[in-house]
Amino acid sequence: MKIQVLGPLHAETGAVSAVPTAGKERKILALLALHPGQLVPVTTLIEEMWGPLPPRSAHTTVQTYILRLRRTLAAALGGPDGPARARELLATGHGGYLLRIAEEDIDAFAFQRAAQAGHAAFSDGDSELAARLLHNALALWRGPALVDVRAGGALRIQAARLEESRLLATERRIDAELRLGMHSQLLAELAELTACHPANERLHSQAMVAFYRSGRQSSALELYRGLRRRLIEQLGLEPSPQLQRLHQAMLSVDPRLDMVAQGGRPTPTFDLYAV
């Protein structure tokens, strides 16, 4: 069985869809899939579906949802032994339920492994390998995590964690590509990313460097001014010391800004002018 959560929820076995149509059952499948082979307590499922004030019939209702989900899985598995295989796949444990599925069959865990390898390659100074691994990891995403599941508390936390990992992988991939001299190719993407994340200093530092190295110093400086204005107006804060020093380096036309690093310590763009 294969399950995808990096975008719309998708599950299939033998190319047959195993995604339930009912919202509560979709929540259960998503939550179990994010804890493969682990017992998820009934209390966690209840809180996910109803929050802190569940109905008195919550335990019985969860059992009904599990029964319906097993029927969906049995239909996808097919054959006369479908119901038995579904009970084995979606097993009952002490005080909860577990989905007997390997991590490698779930896209979120495949992403995490590939992203970790990319981060490690960057730390080792291999920017080309880092860029390739992180690009492959990010290609697993088909949209926001669990975009078509009405998440409760637990799933919202999981989705937010995945989205943060996605953003970090994107930033590190861009760091690697900047080290490879791909600043011009990154301009459009960075313009979009800074618009989507208007207070993210790391992305703004990358965009500033990309514009600067592409001969667009005024655009780089305008990015800084816009970010500084937003931070002051919304948070009452000045940009970080790293970003302020990057800005000063651009004003003074520091020759180090034009150096595309091919070796040496693999420094993220945001930390180019860290103390």
Say what the pLDDT of residue 15 is: 84
CA distance 205 to 264: 20
Burial class of residue 33 (count of CB atoms within 10 Å of its CB; 0-12, 13-18, 19+): buried
Amino acid (one-letter) located at 35: H
Please answer whether residues 205 and 269 qualify as being in contact, where contact means their C-beta atoms are separated by less than 8 angstroms.
yes
Helix (H, G, I), strand (E, B) or coil at 4: strand
Amino acid (one-letter) located at 225: R
Shortest CA distance to 44 belongs to which of 62, 26, 60? 62
Say what the pLDDT of residue 256 is: 83
Q: Which two tokens stand for residue 159?
A: 């989705």
CA distance 206 to 137: 20
- State pTM to two decimals: 0.92
For the chain, report the end-to-end CA distance as a whole number of angstroms. 50
CA distance 153 to 27: 11
Instruction: Please state the length of the chain.
Output: 275
Q: What is the DSSP string of 71-119?
A: HHHHHHH-STTHHHHHHHHEEEETTEEEE---GGGBHHHHHHHHHHHHH
Q: What is the dihedral of CA 150, 152, 154, 160, to 10 degrees?
A: 60
Shortest CA distance to 189 belongs to which of 201, 199, 48, 173? 173
Beta pairing class for 96-99 and 10-13: unpaired
pLDDT tens string for the chain (275 positions)?
Answer: 999 999 999 999 988 999 999 999 999 999 999 999 999 999 999 999 999 999 999 999 999 999 999 999 999 999 999 999 999 999 999 999 999 999 999 999 999 999 999 999 999 999 999 999 999 999 999 999 999 999 999 999 999 999 999 999 999 999 999 999 999 999 999 999 999 999 999 999 999 999 999 999 999 999 999 999 999 999 999 999 999 999 999 999 998 888 665 555 678 999 988 86
Ranges assigned E (strand) in the chain:
2-4, 10-13, 16-17, 40-41, 90-93, 96-99
Q: Which two tokens stand for residue 266?
A: 């693999």
Render the burial of 179-213: b for 16+ CB within 10 Å, e for the rest.
bbebbeebbebbeebbeeeeebbbbbbbbbbbbbb
